[in-house]
Amino acid sequence: MRAAIYHGGGSLSIDEVPAPEAGPGEIVIRTRQCGICGTDLMAWYQDSKAPVVLGHEPVGDVVAAGEGAPFAVGDRVFVHHHVPCLECDLCRRGRDTLCERFRATRIHPGGLAELILVPAENTALDVHRLPDSMSDEMGTLIEPLACILRGQRLAGVGEGSHVVIVGAGSMGLIEAELAPVLGAARVVVIEPNADRRPAAEALGATVLPACDPEAVRSALGGRLADQVIVCTHNHAAMNDALHLAGPASVVQYFAPTPPGEMVPLDLGSIFWREVELQSTYSAGPADIRDALAMLDDGRVRARGIVTHHVPFDEVHEGFRLARTGEALKVVIDF
């Protein structure tokens, strides 16, 4: 079978690799589609793992099922790449994405391969049959939505929340669509790129070109935000977001910066408001199930998020489109 192998330094090749076989409790899927995630594009994050097969948003058909696996050949499924133990202290506290087992589990060799082996623990805990009514493309958005859902729950987005989202990329747009589903009363999106603003406006958000506290105050009825969700690693925006947060609010950093990269933050500006700074990472099994349900019943439609479909043979072009920003979201078709 073929897989797209990332060699580091931006180098990618499609190579022949051994086809996997399903052992007890395991399944092998033939990939139909796989989304390209922002983390797939972060050289500082991926180069240390190279050579590696990227991709963790796959949808495919089960072509082999080991003894005891709860799926049958022909099932169309979404596969989550990590699963927690559900037994450790972090799991019991609801922080299952920080579980040591979560980070140790993974699909093999990765989502950008014609065939994917799903280990028994992943198969048992976080593989899901897709409803007939759900497209493959929508299935590739389950994991991104689940990550956002987990983050908004962690930040306390709920009934009556006033939410500001900094950045209207693919994840920022899903953030803007999800917040009202969780009960947010008002949503403001900050986006300096004029070409990206209409998509956020179409979701009913108030869209501003810059992190202007007075403009945010006006948009939120004379107050600042309960939750500010920062979907960019731009240093200036990460700091400016602090000035959009109201008393007892949360500023959540959704997009990571490289370890060791220092970001200057005006922490003195938030001290008297007791603002909480927060990060969020990935999604657990409950988040995945809820995200699938939201996409299935139409509470979240994620329309226009995927702007480009690229054949697997042209995966290099898919990564180019994603890296340059020409595409909002790329899905690779097998």
Binned at pLDDT 50, 70 and 90, residue 151 comes out as very high
CA torsion angle for 283, 180, 165, 161 (degrees, to 10)?
-100
Query: If you average pLDDT over residues 192-213, what whole number do you get?
Result: 97
For the segment 199-208, the average pLDDT, to the nearest whole number, is 97
User: Position of tokens 């480009």?
Assistant: 308
Report how far apart the first and last C-alpha atoms of the chain are (Å, whole number).
12
Which tens digits make up the pLDDT trace of 236-253?
999 999 999 999 999 999
Q: Output the pLDDT for position 236.
A: 98
Per-residue pLDDT tens over the stretch 83-142: 999 999 999 999 999 999 999 999 999 999 999 999 999 999 999 999 999 999 999 999
pLDDT band at 316 (very low <50, low <70, confident <90, very high): very high
Q: What is the pLDDT of residue 75?
A: 98
- CATH topology for 2-141+306-333? Quinone Oxidoreductase; Chain A, domain 1 (3.90.180)
Bond preceding residue 247 cis, omega within 30 of 0: no
C-alpha to C-alpha distances, 122 to 24, 108, 280, nearest whole angstrom? 12, 11, 21
6-28 average pLDDT score: 97
- 266-292 residue pLDDT tens: 999 999 999 999 999 999 999 999 999
pTM given for the model: 0.97
**Residue 23 — pLDDT band, cuts 50, 70, 90?**
very high
Give the Cα separation of 238 and 278 in Å (integer).
12
The pLDDT of residue 25 is 98
Please report which confidence band the pLDDT of residue 222 belongs to, taking 50, 70 and 90 as the band edges.
Answer: very high
Pairing of strands 2-8, 52-53: antiparallel
Q: How large a percentage of the chain has pLDDT more than 70?
A: 100
pLDDT in tens, 49-81: 999 999 999 999 999 999 999 999 999 999 999
Amino acid (one-letter) located at 255: A
**CATH code for the structural domain at 148-279:** 3.40.50.720
pLDDT tens digits along 159-180 = 999 999 999 999 999 999 999 9
| DSSP structural state of residue 145 | H
Say how many C-beta atoms besides its own lie within 10 A of residue 39's C-beta.
13
Q: What is the pLDDT of residue 68?
A: 98
- Place 42 in a pLDDT band, splitting at 50, 70 and 90: very high
Burial of 9 by CB count in 10 Å (0-12 exposed, 13-18 middle, 19+ buried)?
A: exposed
| Domains of the chain, residue spans | 2-141+306-333, 148-279
